[in-house]
Amino acid sequence: MKILLVEDERRIADFVCAGFKEQGFVVTHCDEGNAGFDAASSGNFDVIVLDIMLPGRDGLSILKGLRREGNATPVILLTARNELDDRVDGLNLGADDYLAKPFFMEELIARIHAMLRRISGERQNVLVVGNLRLDRISREVAWAGHTIDLTRREFNLIEYLMRSPGRVFTRTQILEHVWGYDFDPSTNVVDVCIQRIRKKIVALNMNDQEPSPIESVRGVGYRFHKPHTDV
Ligand code: CA
């Protein structure tokens, strides 16, 4: 998950960034409103966490600008305790949620998950594709009922592919979403990570002839195998 944080208070930005990284989120931080707007309007984020009082351009103006240009990226506003009018304005301008400072990191993360569930209309936190079951909240993955012990990176990678079974993702896309940096043609971290996941699944799959759920698409990238749907 790629998150943009626009927050000028260094102390808050530091702990929020650290908390997001612990969750395995990929964070971009801007400490000024104009830069924040430019980053936000790139449309390249899953969530924007937006402070209201900012140097350069304030959060409500950024939000208004984004919605005006048709950018529907979910936005959660960070507000000071006394900014009730701003919260109301923010919701009217198309914010998806707000959180008053000071807040606990756990609450911000819970709000983000809740917001995404609400927005995507996904009631369940569990993805099931073929034999593989992934729980986004407990962060458990199981193959045919057997838990697979995955690293955070491996979990994020498989979750990313599993969201869109059958769709091919390039190494660049996978790198950007799971590692958060631009493609370096010399790196093979994606391939290495996928090999590790496959080995872990194969280890549970000894008696079974099922193909790996992660398919290589020659010269392009990878996709999560889309099983034929039963009647
Ligand atoms: Ca501020």
What structural domains does the chain harbor? 2-124 (3.40.50.2300), 127-224 (1.10.10.10)
C-alpha 150 to ligand 1 mean position (Å): 38
pLDDT reported for residue 185: 59
- pLDDT at position 231: 42
Distance 27 CA to ligand 1 centre (A): 18
Q: How far apart are the CA of 192 and the centre of ligand 1, in A?
A: 41
CA 199 → CA 154, 169, 202, 206, distances in Å? 12, 20, 5, 11
Q: What is the DSSP string of 79-128?
A: E-TT-HHHHHHHHHTT-SEEEESS--HHHHHHHHHHHHHHHHT---SEEE
Query: In the chain, helix, strand, coil percent, each to 5?
Result: 40, 20, 40
Whole-number pLDDT of residue 186: 65
Contact 63, 20 (CB under 8 A): no
The predicted pLDDT at position 229 comes to 56
Tell me if residue 155 falls in helix, strand or coil. helix
Print pLDDT tens along the chain (231 aa): 899 999 999 999 999 999 999 999 999 999 999 999 999 998 789 999 999 999 999 999 999 999 888 888 899 999 886 777 888 888 888 898 999 999 999 999 999 998 887 876 655 678 888 888 898 888 899 887 889 999 999 999 999 999 888 899 998 889 888 887 665 656 789 999 999 999 998 887 655 666 788 999 998 899 998 876 544
User: Which residues are CB-neighbours of 219 under 8 A, at least 6 positions away?
Assistant: none
Centre of ligand 1 from the C-alpha of residue 99, in Å: 13
CA of 9 to the centre of ligand 1 (A): 6
Q: Edge-to-edge strand order for the sheet containing 140-143?
A: 126-129, 132-135, 140-143, 146-148
Q: What is the pLDDT of residue 129?
A: 85
For residue 202, how far is its CA from the centre of ligand 1 (angstroms)? Answer: 50
- As a dihedral over the C-alpha atoms of residue 76, residue 81, residue 86, residue 88, rounded to 10 degrees, the angle is 80
Give pLDDT, residue 207.
Answer: 58
What protein residues have CB closer than 5 angstroms to ion ligand 1? Answer: 8, 51, 53
Predicted model pTM = 0.58
What spacing in Å lies between the alpha carbon of 179 and ligand 1's midpoint?
28
Query: How confident is the model at residue 84, as a pLDDT?
Result: 74
pLDDT of residue 121: 62
Cα 55 to averaged position of ligand 1 atoms, centre (Å) = 8
Residue 102, phi then psi, degrees to nearest 5? -80, 155
